[in-house]
Amino acid sequence: MSDIHYPQNADLRSLLRFCSEKGLIWLDESRMILMHAAALSELRKELINSLGIDQARRILTRMGYAAGARDAELARKIRGDHSLQDAFVVGPQLHMLEGMVHVTPFKLDFDKDASHFYGDFLWENSVEAEVHVREFGHAEHPVCWMQIGYASGYTSAFMGRFILFKETECMATGRNRCRIVGKPVEEWPDAADYTPYYEADSIVSRMLELRSEVDALRATLERRLPPPSLIGSSAGFRHAYTLIDKAAVTQVTVLLLGETGVGKERFARALHEMSPRAGGPFVAINCAALPHDLIESELFGVERGAFTGAQVSRMGKFERADGGTLFLDEVGELPLAAQAKLLRVLQEGEIERLGDDRTRKINVRLVAATNVDLHAAVKAGRFRSDLFYRLNVYPVVIPPLRERVADIPLLVEAMLKRFGALHGKRLAGVTDKALRALKGHAWPGNIRELENTIERGVILAPQDEWIEVDHLFAGPQDFEASQEGINDAGSLSAADAKDTTDTLCNQVIAAGMGLDGFEQALIQHAVKEAKGNLSGAARLLGITRPQLNYRLKKKEASV
């Protein structure tokens, strides 16, 4: 046996949190599940019977590999400042904590620059060997495929090169235990017999790929897909998209309604891209961003000499959008004079530049947007009712982000790509916990706020690693209030008990109560809680009635 000893696993145990009221188990920021070994057994049996031994083995190996690679990130994070060996054994220790197998290192020899690795481990209580034997009886060859995948995935991620583990003995073949040996893949002369189990490419996945290609083609034939600028699949999104899609082929004036930041300009652009005008210009203008006295010249253009400072003739947005689409954002902010002119343009299809008496024919599709209640603005006399009816022919409500939570993963993925490229960051993604926090946030600022949050995460997360909750939100997130962890004895206990004790002690000391003072206060409180019943009070305090009597007398004596 080797002289390798495991460090205490309290640091790893503390990563495991049970939020039973929310139906969640966390290992640090990864979502975990407690699965019946019987369910794993059923899965293995189904895989073997339907796909054959080789495919079943490949799937389970890859499943284990993914888990191991995830756990290797914790090794860096939790024991990055420990010895290399203590950091490495996070893998075996987590494999045990996760209930897969008992691992005893037999020989472990490796160096930091990853040029060398040799690991020899003994396995007992292998769950895979156990369920395999129960289902199929003794096997001719080793069967701990998922676990071997885990060891290879963990070690490869830890070392930064492919370390292939082989099971040299297996309990399922009638041995007392399993044994695994791992070294760099190049050092195994028969590596080619094993590596196919780690590869995604296979007949099955090729078949599935072909089928999804067929499905995608069929879907494209049935309906047009949204342009890539529009992302979503939630019911609220699809409803808005369908309305846009139907309007695109017509000339109808579209009014986009929705809160600030819901992405109205994206929808307007998508409408343009899907319309027969796609080859023409798309021009956007935000009416709230311009000073009132400039709006008219911006929209309709200006002729030289129209007013002081107008030294050259200039086209307005309407002329620029000729043959295409003009997007008027925050249309509710237009001053009344500009509203009158806009109405005339819409009615007559021609514009007149400021300081010009010529009219010019224009062919523009108008898309307007607002986040204010135009009805109310009409009533208050801030918005012309005739213009309102002209714009409100085809209103489309863009739902706020909190009503399209199902779209958040898709949106986040697209934003990660965009900001990753922008900031030169390669990231593994967002952790399960971070994604959950993103889904639980209220997003008053909608898509724009989500974009800012993801950009912040991309900037803060270390290269090649995961974006965690702390990278996204400043300040503590209380979205998982009650949690339990695993204590030394292996049972669940409130994870924040230690914190509560710390707080309480600090308060007692800060109050200057002293030990005796605190003891008496606690006793009086217990007596009161027990409504004067001393036996009841003793029970609350976890002491006997005579012990309580003694303490009460001690107090009387000191008075």
Where does this chain bind Zn ion (CB under 5 A)? 126, 129, 144, 170, 178
Can you tell me the distance from the alpha carbon of 433 to that of 24, in angstroms, rounded to the nearest whole number? 10
Q: Indicate the residue among 57 and 353 with the shorter CB distance to Zn ion.
A: 57
Q: How far is the CB of 179 from Zn ion (least distance, A)?
A: 8
Q: Indicate the residue among 194 and 518 with the shorter CB distance to Zn ion.
A: 194
Q: Indicate the residue among 178 and 302 with the shorter CB distance to Zn ion.
A: 178
Q: How far is the CB of 62 from Zn ion (least distance, A)?
A: 18
CB burial of residue 391 (10 Å; 0-12, 13-18, 19+): buried
Count CA within 13 A, CB hemisphere, residue 256: 29
Q: How far is the CB of 165 from Zn ion (least distance, A)?
A: 11
Please, which residues bridge with residue 167 across strands?
Answer: 180
Collapsed DSSP state (helix, strand, coil) of residue 140? coil
- The answer to whether residues 409 and 435 touch, using CB atoms and an 8 Å cutoff, is yes
Q: Indicate the residue among 143 and 354 with the shorter CB distance to Zn ion.
A: 143
Q: Indicate the residue among 180 and 243 with the shorter CB distance to Zn ion.
A: 180
Q: Distances in Å between the alpha carbon of 465 and those of 14, 89, 157, 166?
A: 21, 20, 12, 28
For residue 399, give both structure tokens.
């739902």
Q: Distances in Å between the alpha carbon of 516 and those of 149, 200, 527, 530, 547?
A: 59, 68, 17, 21, 15
Q: How far is the CB of 37 from Zn ion (least distance, A)?
A: 14
Q: How far is the CB of 177 from Zn ion (least distance, A)?
A: 8
Residue 50: DSSP 8-state: H
Q: How far is the CB of 173 from Zn ion (least distance, A)?
A: 8
Q: How far is the CB of 139 from Zn ion (least distance, A)?
A: 9
List CB contacts of 543: < 8 A, sequence separation 6 or more: 551
Q: How far is the CB of 100 from Zn ion (least distance, A)?
A: 11
Q: Indicate the residue among 170 and 302 with the shorter CB distance to Zn ion.
A: 170
Q: How far is the CB of 144 from Zn ion (least distance, A)?
A: 3
Q: How far is the CB of 129 from Zn ion (least distance, A)?
A: 4
**Number of helices and strands in the chain (H, E):** 23, 18
List CB contacts of 26: < 8 A, sequence separation 6 or more: 15, 16, 17, 19, 32, 432, 433, 480
List CB contacts of 454: < 8 A, sequence separation 6 or more: 412, 415, 416, 419, 467, 472
Collapsed DSSP state (helix, strand, coil) of residue 396? strand
Residues recorded for the chain: 559
For residue 62, give both structure tokens.
């890859």
Q: Indicate the residue among 130 and 470 with the shorter CB distance to Zn ion.
A: 130
List CB contacts of 424: < 8 A, sequence separation 6 or more: none
Q: Indicate the residue among 122 and 302 with the shorter CB distance to Zn ion.
A: 122
Q: How far is the CB of 467 from Zn ion (least distance, A)?
A: 36
Strands 117-124 and 163-169: unpaired
Can you tell me the distance from the alpha carbon of 503 to that of 507, in angstroms, rounded to the nearest whole number? 6
Q: Indicate the residue among 147 and 155 with the shorter CB distance to Zn ion.
A: 147
Q: Indicate the residue among 126 and 152 with the shorter CB distance to Zn ion.
A: 126
- The answer to whether residues 438 and 477 touch, using CB atoms and an 8 Å cutoff, is no
Q: Indicate the residue among 123 and 241 with the shorter CB distance to Zn ion.
A: 123
Q: How far is the CB of 167 from Zn ion (least distance, A)?
A: 5
Strands 365-370 and 394-397: unpaired
> How many CB atoms within 10 Å of residue 509?
11
Q: How far is the CB of 164 from Zn ion (least distance, A)?
A: 16
- The answer to whether residues 447 and 261 touch, using CB atoms and an 8 Å cutoff, is yes
Sheet holding 282-286, edge to edge: 282-286, 325-329, 365-370, 254-257, 394-397
Can you tell me the distance from the alpha carbon of 454 to that of 86, in angstroms, rounded to the nearest whole number? 34
Q: Indicate the residue among 107 and 138 with the shorter CB distance to Zn ion.
A: 138
Q: Indicate the residue among 144 and 299 with the shorter CB distance to Zn ion.
A: 144
Q: Indicate the residue among 144 and 435 with the shorter CB distance to Zn ion.
A: 144
For residue 205, give both structure tokens.
């996945």
> How many CB atoms within 10 Å of residue 445?
17
- The answer to whether residues 13 and 474 touch, using CB atoms and an 8 Å cutoff, is no
Q: How far is the CB of 56 from Zn ion (least distance, A)?
A: 15
